[in-house]
A = this chain, B = another copy of it.
Amino acid sequence: MRDRMAGSKVTIYQVAARAGVSAATVSRVLNGARVSAESERLVRAAAAELAFTPNRTARRLRRQYSEVIALIIPDVENPFFTALARGVENRARAGGFSVVLCNTDDDPARESTYIDIALAEHMAGVILAPADGASDVSRLLARKCPVVAVDRSLNRPDIDAVTVDNRAGGLSAAESLFADGFSRVACITGPSSVETAQLRMEGWRQAGERHGAGGDGLLRYADYRVDGGRAAMAELLALREPPDAAVVANNLMAAGALDALRDAGLTPHAFGLAVFGDLPFASFERQGIRVVDLPARELGEAAASLLLDRIAGDDGPARTVVLRTDRTLKEKQ
């Protein structure tokens, strides 16, 4: 563990010696400062011959800055977040940045650890898909490290955020069910402490009021996970007056809810279902389920763009980008 990586390490000084110039000049060539054509030629030749790669650690220490951004997400195994990650990566890569993916498992302590690491590693910025509960970004702000919240805002007007119009999505999801003749439309949403869960539910509630539907008796809070969705749906189906349709606030809970429906001998045709976000390989849409489109990749791209602007020095007031959720209207099959 001590003398790891002891192999050939070419430093800027060796390049300088070979080119017959000073280290400063080598650095200037590498960073595009003014240098004579002759020096540049010599340096480039020497660097190529020695296969020189600048030591990023040293550069970072000096510059107090690195071209790496941290993406902190609650669950690498959730397709929504991996699609989001891909969006971030695409955009970041185009801007010359690398992305470090940090998985918190919805654990605030792990989230906090990763924030510390991002700071200690001099990362250029942080994109945070907040874990359950209140995330503490104050340390980042104190060090002027750019942060963008994605998917969920942090309820802080001073921080950039990229979200979708969750309330509108909830509203149109429920409306679409009412429009198709369902009358008892339930809602299975996420933890009440989570902003997206709250907003999606409010959209549903608003539609319910318009149609004089049953109200909060058909509302269930679950945990945004498969098992929670299954349990909530089972509970709803066991009611004396069960619903005939439901809005489910995320993809994983919908997978569970679908299981519960099957267990009860129901199909997505008999029982209306509208879901926030699809699943790859198990497309809800192809099963004839209404899907509120969550543009995960676009969320990631937008968040990365915002962050890159900040890193480039933009210090205007915080912006909140809200992407549209275009509910898929067609019920296929």
Contact = CB atoms under 8 A, between A and B. Distances in A.
A119 B8 CA distance: 11
A143 B7 contact: yes
Which among A61, A117, A145, A252 has the highest number of chain B CB atoms within 10 Å?
A61
A122 interface: yes
Contacts of A119: 53
B4 A145 contact: yes
Given A76-B86, A83-B77, A85-B76, A145 B5 contact: yes
Contact of A76 (B58, B82, B312, B313): B82
B64 A143 contact: no
Contacts of A54: 120
A192 interface: no
Given A61-B61, A281-B281, A5 B122 contact: yes
A7 B86 contact: no
Contacts of A117: 56, 98
Contact of A143 (B8, B101, B124): B8
A144 B86 contact: no
A122 B143 CA distance: 25
A252 B101 CA distance: 23
Interface residues of A, number: 55
A280 interface: yes
Given A4-B124, A76-B85, A79-B77, A61 B53 contact: no
A56 B281 contact: no
Contacts of A319: none
A157 to B, nearest CB: 20
A100 interface: yes
Interface in A135-189: 142-146
Number of copies of this kind of chain in the complex: 2
A10 to B, nearest CB: 10
A4 B103 contact: no
Contacts of A46: none
A83 to B, nearest CB: 6
A122 B282 contact: no
A33 interface: no
A89 B113 CA distance: 14
A86 B82 contact: no
Contacts of A55: 61, 120, 122
A124 B1 CA distance: 9
A60 B68 CA distance: 16
A56 B120 contact: yes
Given A7-B144, A76-B85, 16 more contacts: A1-B312, A4-B146, A5-B64, A8-B143, A53-B119, A53-B120, A54-B120, A56-B117, A56-B121, A56-B122, A57-B66, A58-B61, A76-B86, A85-B103, A89-B103, A100-B100
Interface of A: 1, 4-9, 53-58, 60-61, 64-66, 76-77, 79, 82-83, 85-86, 89, 98-103, 116-117, 119-122, 124, 142-146, 226, 251-252, 255, 279-282, 311-313
11 contacts: A4-B64, A4-B311, A5-B64, A5-B65, A5-B144, A6-B144, A8-B142, A56-B122, A57-B60, A98-B100, A281-B281
